[in-house]
Chains A and B, each alone.
Chain A
Amino acid sequence: MTCEEARALLLDARRGRLSAGMQAALDAHLAGCAACAHENAADALLGEALEGRLPQHAAPLALKRRLAASWSAGDALPSPPPVARPTAPSSARAAWGARWRRAVVPALAAAVLVLALVPLYYRQAGDGGAGMVTEAVNDHLRLLTAQHPLDIESGGIHQVKPWFEGRLDFAPVVRFEGDADFPLRGGAIGYYLDRKAAVFVFNRRLHVVTLLVFPAQGLPWPRRGLERIGPVEAQVTASRGFNTILWREGDLGYALVSDVDRTDLLALLGKLAASS
């Protein structure tokens, strides 16, 4: 096997796509060729970097709502102006305007329907909490990229919790005040799927940990793969480079998301659950 042939097979080999014979021939080549072995190691590290560290951009919730509305109406919302296109011809603008007018009525109807469709979509796509984990990670990413992520800077839990009064139609139950390991940075109002959520932001060293608290009813909570952690049963998952813990207590649901180690996140869950 030549170096050129070997290098063409490296990615397939790491993905287990080679026959046993081909794999053996490649292994033999790599054992005797330092340059190809280096190439294999470097490409494997590149793969790890891409899969584990390349930022994943989640679609804004407003965009998702518009998309759901367009499909539920059975007609497209007006297509946005062409992406970075130079000035459109006037006929195209006229056609665009006509499409916009045609879409107004279905879009208004969609605005009513979307409130029902979005949760329905998430219930159907839920498959054991996967949709809930995705949303929790997306909310965490939105918070990380927001210019002003906190509505209330922390002066302690007794300052943050009262701030939510009158801003939510439920009382978020969080008694953990933060400590030296997990200082409470502050809070904000957010959205989790189709409902408002109280967002608490903790730090773990330089990492941000987001705690979402929201009404639990009507969501596709996972029933399998639950772990007993202190007084709660929780689902602990890793998704897109983030660890996520979902659990419910009474009428409230909780989602804890961060890129900190699983053990760190479990330690915070222990403090939150022990305080409730």
Chain B
Amino acid sequence: MESERADAAALGREALAYADTLYNLARYLTRSPTDAEDLVQETYARALSAAHQFTPGTNLKAWLFRILRNTFLSHHRHERHNPTVGGLDTVVAVAPSPESARWLRGDVELDRLRKVVGEEIERALESLSEEARTVILLDLEGLTEVEVAQVVGCAVGTVKSRLARARAALREKLRDYAP
């Protein structure tokens, strides 16, 4: 019993090191500082009650991400079924409109990407679907495709295609901020 408590305390100290990372993901998922705080707090509460299920030696950050995302989805089921950008697995890559294709091909896109500022990227990212935001942010956090697959509960190959489509969708969104 005592050793279990000691293990949980050690896990807690390690888990606390990811508070900033989890909060950042929560901010982009909920788009609200208050909701993000609630989400992170509930994530830690769930992690604490499930601490015995964590396998030592595995990726704690990925485990916490999975709890956070599942917690978020349990409160936002509707968003999953009504994504801002179509489901990343089911939507076949749609050929861009001629205007869009010209823009994407041209140097103007590269110039724009060089000059885009943080606030614009943030707004563009927040306008994507939950799936797209999640894979982009988990990838940014340095999770491997295998770890991302474990967090979001899909096949590794699916992660690769989701990530590619999400990044393409983000580039398309950034076009909206072109001067």
Which residues of A are interface residues toward B (Cβ below 8 A)? 7-8, 11, 35, 38, 41-43, 45-46, 49-51, 53-60, 63-64, 66-68, 70-72, 74-85, 117, 120-121, 124-125, 131, 134, 138
User: Are the CB atoms of A55 and B118 closer together than 8 Å?
Assistant: yes
Q: Give Cα A56 to B118, complex, Å.
A: 10
Give chain A residues whose Cβ lies under 8 Å from the Cβ of B42. 79-80, 82-83
**Is the CB of B52 closer than 8 A to any CB of chain A?**
no
Q: Give Cα A124 to B44, complex, Å.
A: 19
**Is the CB of B176 closer than 8 A to any CB of chain A?**
no
Give chain B residues whose Cβ lies under 8 Å from the Cβ of A78. 45
User: Are the CB atoms of A70 and B45 closer together than 8 Å?
Assistant: yes
User: Are the CB atoms of A53 and B23 closer together than 8 Å?
Assistant: no
A114–chain B nearest beta-carbon distance, Å? 11
**Is the CB of B104 closer than 8 A to any CB of chain A?**
yes
**Is the CB of B8 closer than 8 A to any CB of chain A?**
yes
User: Are the CB atoms of A60 and B37 closer together than 8 Å?
Assistant: yes
User: Are the CB atoms of A58 and B12 closer together than 8 Å?
Assistant: no
Checking A8, A43, A77 against B45 with a beta-carbon cut-off of 8 angstroms, the contacting residue is A77
B33–chain A nearest beta-carbon distance, Å? 8
User: Are the CB atoms of A42 and B104 closer together than 8 Å?
Assistant: yes
Give chain B residues whose Cβ lies under 8 Å from the Cβ of A56. 20, 24
Of residues 35 through 58 on chain B, the ones whose CB sits less than 8 Å from some CB of chain A are 35-42, 44-46, 48-49
**Is the CB of B136 closer than 8 A to any CB of chain A?**
yes
**Is the CB of B19 closer than 8 A to any CB of chain A?**
yes
**Is the CB of B81 closer than 8 A to any CB of chain A?**
no
Q: Residue on B with the closest CB to A74?
A: B5
User: Are the CB atoms of A54 and B9 closer together than 8 Å?
Assistant: no
Question: Could you list 9 examples of A-B contacts with CB < 8 Å?
Answer: A11-B164, A42-B110, A49-B113, A53-B116, A59-B23, A64-B19, A71-B12, A71-B15, A83-B42
| Chain A interface main SS type | helix
Contacts A53-B118, A54-B118, A55-B122 given: A71-B48 contact, CB under 8 Å?
Answer: yes
User: Are the CB atoms of A121 and B140 closer together than 8 Å?
Assistant: no
Give chain B residues whose Cβ lies under 8 Å from the Cβ of A42. 104, 109-110, 113, 171
User: Are the CB atoms of A46 and B167 closer together than 8 Å?
Assistant: yes
Please list the 8 inter-chain residue pairs (A to B) with the smallest Cβ-Cβ separation, ordered nearest first. Answer: A71-B12, A59-B23, A76-B45, A80-B38, A45-B113, A57-B27, A53-B118, A59-B19
Most buried by B among A72, A78, A80: A80
Q: Give Cα A45 to B108, complex, Å.
A: 13
A243–chain B nearest beta-carbon distance, Å? 16
Of residues 134 through 179 on chain B, the ones whose CB sits less than 8 Å from some CB of chain A are 136, 140, 160, 163-164, 167, 170-171, 174
Contacts A11-B163, A50-B140 given: A72-B12 contact, CB under 8 Å?
Answer: yes
Q: Give Cα A31 to B70, complex, Å.
A: 43
Give chain B residues whose Cβ lies under 8 Å from the Cβ of A77. 41, 45
Give chain A residues whose Cβ lies under 8 Å from the Cβ of B22. 59
Residues 94-113 of chain B: 1 if any A CB is under 8 Å from the residue's CB, otherwise 0? 00000000001100011001
